[in-house]
Amino acid sequence: MRSRALVAIDPRPGVSLDRWVNLISSLCDFVAGFKVGLPFMFSYGVSGLRALRGSCDRFLIADFKLADIDHVMVLTVSHVIGYVDGVIAHAFIGFKGGLEGLKEYLDGLGVKLILIISMSHAGSVDVLDANIDRLLWVADRLRPWGLVAPATRPDVISYARERAPWAKILAPGVGVQGARPGDGIRAGADYEIIGRLVTEAPDPLEVVKWVNEEHVRALRGG
Amino acid sequence: MRSRALVAIDPRPGVSLDRWVNLISSLCDFVAGFKVGLPFMFSYGVSGLRALRGSCDRFLIADFKLADIDHVMVLTVSHVIGYVDGVIAHAFIGFKGGLEGLKEYLDGLGVKLILIISMSHAGSVDVLDANIDRLLWVADRLRPWGLVAPATRPDVISYARERAPWAKILAPGVGVQGARPGDGIRAGADYEIIGRLVTEAPDPLEVVKWVNEEHVRALRGG
């Protein structure tokens, strides 16, 4: 079975790029892809991203949690076009002068847009989750390739799954943040995002293999 | 009078760092400060930020529109600590596992937190502005140094001014996005953020001087 695991690469300062290139090479055949955020970009820059891309040709996501006006989001993403397959932005930003321009830009380049409708931390309930219908309305109008909804609150995933059958759902929060591998898949997610549980493990490949087994079990209804 | 103008530095690809270092040096005595976003960081990296800091000792803001879990926001900001005086994040992220950890980290280092409660583009009304009370509640509980509210919708600034008398208010959207210099100040903002109107002008210093005059007029009730 194709893996449902996306590995989040969020380096602590002082770790060498080689460590990540080696890690990604070793996991390449066992995962669906990877995502990098701002800590990666600030550590290694665009050339670091190019090195990752060169070491494994899986789905690579720029997870900058974009939440700016269109002009600035497009300028930001223009630096990584050619190296990534998807870009994560916040549905919260709304259309006009915001996500509309980003979507148009990414569509023109064949890069997938992924919108966050809920997050994995507890504070997501303060504002985000109270607006789930509004955020799903933004998503429905924009029709991005994917949505982000948290494995830590599977009911949010189930709700999004029902309301947005057209979307791929990516579920973060597996591992250190509290969800167990399979929690997101069972609730209807297509992928689970796993970070420190894999990247800080003594044997990351063993963890990925175990996560994949848990996903198979979840898909079988276990 | 002390200037109320904050200049946004959002480079298009291909512009040299020298251009910005020179621009900032030439404006240094006439502005309240500067802000840089992700386009700047992706173009020039942390060393570029160090060069800006070295060329003008005004208030420098990292405007990364942070909107992630605490762990990732802190990792991101750790790269620029020592070079910036303030950091901009989104109020919609909420507390626990989010802004709470970021605020604690910044407080420990004497760096100011600035929270976005509304944005300058039209799409801000889709979700953000419909949640203004909720976002002001987040701000009130966290008590950051400043808030961001748009000069393009002065009523939002007036509302925030009334509800958060303890906060500095920074107003973007002046110039290319449609607000005139002084619109934000008149509505109760402490600073106006001006980007392309200054940075793409043939004579940026002349524009800044004109903006400062408009601010003086606005403060006199004109």
Q: What is the pLDDT of residues A102-114, one digit of tens each?
A: 999 999 999 999 9
Q: What integer is the mean pLDDT of A106-133?
A: 97
pLDDT of residue A160: 98
Active-site residue numbers of B?
A: 65
Burial class (CB in 10 A: 0-12, 13-18, 19+), A221: exposed
Angle of helix B38-55 relative to helix B17-27, nearest 10 degrees, comes to 50
DSSP label of B61 = E
Contacts of A79 in chain B (CB under 8 A): 13, 39, 42-43
Substitution target from B72, B114, B125, B141 for chain A, most A beta carbons within 10 A: B72
Check if the beta carbon of residue B62 is closer than 8 Å to that of residue B86. Answer: yes
Contacts (Cβ under 8 Å, ≥6 apart) of B85: B33, B59, B60, B61, B111, B112
Split at pLDDT 50, 70, 90, the class of A221 is confident
Residue the block writes with tokens 């950091």: B87
Q: What integer is the mean pLDDT of A146-174?
A: 97
Substitution target from B9, B41, B42 for chain A, most A beta carbons within 10 A: B42
pLDDT of residue B121: 95
DSSP string, B96-151: IIIIHHHHHHHHHHTPEEEEESS-SSGGGGTTTGGGHHHHHHHHHHH--SEEE--T
Choice between B32 and B178, residue whose per-residue pLDDT is larger? B32
Cα A98 from chain centre:
20
Q: What integer is the mean pLDDT of B72-93?
A: 97
DSSP label of A136 = H
Q: What integer is the mean pLDDT of A117-140?
A: 97
Whole-number percent of chain A with pLDDT over 70:
100
pLDDT of residue A132: 98
Contacts of B75 in chain A (CB under 8 A): 10-13, 38-39
Residue of B nearest to A8 (CA): B72
Residue B1 has pLDDT above 90, yes or no: no
pLDDT of residue B44: 97
pLDDT tens, residue by residue, B7-18? 999 999 899 999
Residue B177 has pLDDT above 90, yes or no: no
DSSP label of B69 = -
From chain A residues 88-117, the ones with a CB under 8 A of any chain B CB are 90-100
Split at pLDDT 50, 70, 90, the class of A126 is very high
Residue B118 has pLDDT above 90, yes or no: yes
CB contact under 8 A, B67 and A67: yes
Q: What integer is the mean pLDDT of B111-126?
A: 97
pLDDT tens, residue by residue, A50-85? 999 999 999 999 999 999 999 999 999 999 999 999
Split at pLDDT 50, 70, 90, the class of B176 is confident
Split at pLDDT 50, 70, 90, the class of B62 is very high
Split at pLDDT 50, 70, 90, the class of A100 is very high
pLDDT tens, residue by residue, B18-27? 999 999 999 9
Residue of B nearest to A44 (CA): B45
Q: What does pLDDT average to over chain B?
A: 96
Split at pLDDT 50, 70, 90, the class of A191 is very high
Contacts (Cβ under 8 Å, ≥6 apart) of B14: none
pLDDT of residue B167: 98
Helices (H), chain B: 17-27, 38-55, 70-78, 100-109, 132-142, 154-163, 183-187, 196-199, 204-219
- Is residue B12 within 8 angstroms of chain A, CB to CB? yes
CA pair distance B8, B195, nearest whole angstrom:
4
Check if the beta carbon of residue B98 is closer than 8 Å to that of residue A152. Answer: no
Contacts of A65 in chain B (CB under 8 A): 66-68
Minimal Cα–Cα distance from A45 to chain B, Å?
7
Residue A176 has pLDDT above 90, yes or no: no
Residue B51 has pLDDT above 80, yes or no: yes
Pair type for strands B112-116 and B146-148? parallel
CB contact under 8 A, A42 and B46: yes
ipTM of the prediction = 0.96
pLDDT of residue A177: 86
CB contact under 8 A, B119 and A64: no
Q: What does pLDDT average to over chain A?
A: 97
Whole-number percent of chain B with pLDDT over 90:
95
Nearest by CB: B123 against A80, A99, A134: A99
